[in-house]
């Protein structure tokens, strides 16, 4: 189950990111310390609650498919915290006041993480993860993992996917590509952080395909049950239907991914 937490102390904003997330100390609902979380302000999301929903669905989907991702949480933000900030933090205080209620967050990674090298030769272990990240972003139609904005963290030889608020971009397309497993119109894939490093190399997506193919309706229903009521709108069924359609045509989808990297 996704943790539900209360933000209790603001620490600082992150140095990067379009949505300017911030680190908060959080407690569980019994008042016990739960650690530090990177909170993405609902007021900073271009898509409003749809972006929050996309963040959580994609984060849960990454876990279901065996990709590494920071643990997600749903964090209640009390606007009274804004009153405790120094006068120089006016922008953050306004963001806190405008983000009252439930926000998306992920547990802070510890242990010396960094950003993986961009557009460079990949080690064997990183290459297999990179191929799965590329396939995951094709599945979720996420255009925001680019050369200039990797949205990845690396701990040792392990990649962690972060930032999914622009996932399922078909929700905003004027002409929705059909069918969902067809990648021919997804031009943003050529800007993917791993596109050049993977292109022309043999990739094996058997593990990823197996995980996607075994993603049952019951597991998808459990993901859906985690979405807070206030984040639900007409876009949630579209996202879940998209995932199921790609799963139902997993081999065609994987063939398309491989074809894009030839």
State in Å, rounded, how far the first CA of the chain is from the last one: 39
d(CA 20, CA 40): 7
Backbone angles phi, psi at 194, to 5 degrees: -105, 5
pLDDT given for residue 87 in this prediction:
86
pLDDT given for residue 238 in this prediction:
97
Please report the beta strands in the chain, taking only residues with DSSP state E, as ranges in sequence order.
Answer: 3-13, 22-28, 33-40, 72-77, 101-107, 152-155, 158-161
In whole angstroms, how far apart are CA 139 and each of 3, 118, 242?
25, 21, 9
Structure tokens at 78: 């009390």
pLDDT in tens, 188-241: 999 999 999 999 988 999 999 999 999 999 999 999 999 999 999 999 999 999
> Considering the entire predicted model, what is its pTM?
0.95
pLDDT given for residue 205 in this prediction:
97
Q: Which residues of the chain have pLDDT under 70?
A: 15-19, 119, 176-177
pLDDT given for residue 173 in this prediction:
85
pLDDT given for residue 27 in this prediction:
98
d(CA 73, CA 26): 10
d(CA 35, CA 107): 8
Alpha carbon 4 to chain centroid, angstroms = 18
d(CA 50, CA 189): 22
Helix (H) / strand (E) containing 258: helix 250-260
pLDDT given for residue 14 in this prediction:
85
pLDDT given for residue 116 in this prediction:
77
């Amino acid at each position: 189950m996704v943790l539900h937490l209360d933000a209790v102390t603001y620490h600082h904003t992150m140095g990067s990111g379009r949505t300017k997330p911030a680190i908060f100390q959080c407690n569980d609902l019994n008042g016990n310390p739960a650690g530090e979380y990177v909170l993405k302000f609902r007021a900073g999301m271009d898509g409003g609650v749809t972006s929050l929903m996309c963040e959580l669905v994609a984060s849960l989907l990454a876990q279901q498919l065996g990709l590494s991702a920071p643990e997600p949480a749903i964090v209640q933000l009390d606007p009274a915290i804004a009153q405790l900030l120094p006068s120089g933090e006016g922008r953050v205080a306004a963001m806190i006041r405008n983000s009252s209620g439930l926000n998306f967050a992920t547990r802070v990674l510890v242990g010396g993480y960094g950003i993986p090298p961009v557009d460079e030769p990949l080690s064997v272990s990183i290459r297999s993860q990179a191929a799965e990240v590329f396939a995951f972003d094709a599945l979720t139609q996420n255009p925001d993992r680019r050369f200039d904005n990797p949205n990845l963290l690396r701990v040792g030889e392990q990649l962690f996917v972060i930032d999914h608020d622009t996932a399922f971009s078909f929700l905003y397309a004027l002409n929705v590509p059909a069918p969902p497993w067809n990648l021919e119109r997804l031009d943003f894939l050529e800007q993917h952080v791993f596109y050049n490093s993977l292109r022309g190399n043999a990739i094996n997506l058997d593990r990823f395909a197996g995980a996607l193919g075994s993603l049952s309706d019951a597991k998808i229903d459990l993901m859906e049950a985690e979405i807070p009521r206030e984040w639900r709108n007409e876009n949630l069924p579209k996202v879940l239907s998209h995932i199921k359609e790609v799963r139902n045509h997993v081999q065609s989808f994987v063939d398309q991914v491989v074809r894009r990297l030839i």
